[in-house]
Amino acid sequence: MLASLREHIDATPGVCGGKPRIAGHRIRVQDVVICHEQQGMSPDEIVSTYPGITLADVHAALAYYFDHRDEIQHDIEDERRFVEEVRRNTPSLIEEKLQRRCAGCAESPTTLPGAARLAI
């Protein structure tokens, strides 16, 4: 890694899963990439979102990404799959509570206990 990138980007086993991150922070390169590439944020907007980092940190993270695009994209996709699996396998406590409260109710949400009825 180039010396200028080394001062901004770090990867430490046991910190952020060993993923490349902004040195001294728990902000991963992939977090910066998602802000920039998927959410359309400018580097200045990213710095505003994470006030502890500098514009140079953001540019270093993006440079690292462009040098290691396949690796970072793979990390992003792995995390997306993990989140989807957790969502699929973890029941929503709110949905369960609503189902228990609504047992025996009609389908209309206005029949939920405590719901105000709308006059039409």
What would the pLDDT profile of 79-116 be if each residue is shown by its tens digit? 999 999 998 888 788 888 888 888 767 655 555 555 55
Q: How many domains does the chain have?
A: 1
Strand segments, DSSP code E, in 4-115 are 9-10, 21-22
Is residue 57 within 8 A of residue 36, CB to CB? The reply is no
What CATH number does the domain containing 95 carry? 1.10.10.10
Find, among 101, 45, 36, the residue nearest to 65 by Cα. 36
Distance CA 20, CA 57 (A): 12
**Quick check: is 119 in a domain?**
no
Domain that holds residue 73: 3-103
| Average confidence (pLDDT) over 22-45 | 96
**Quick check: is 113 in a domain?**
no
Find, among 39, 33, 42, the residue nearest to 62 by Cα. 33
pTM: 0.71
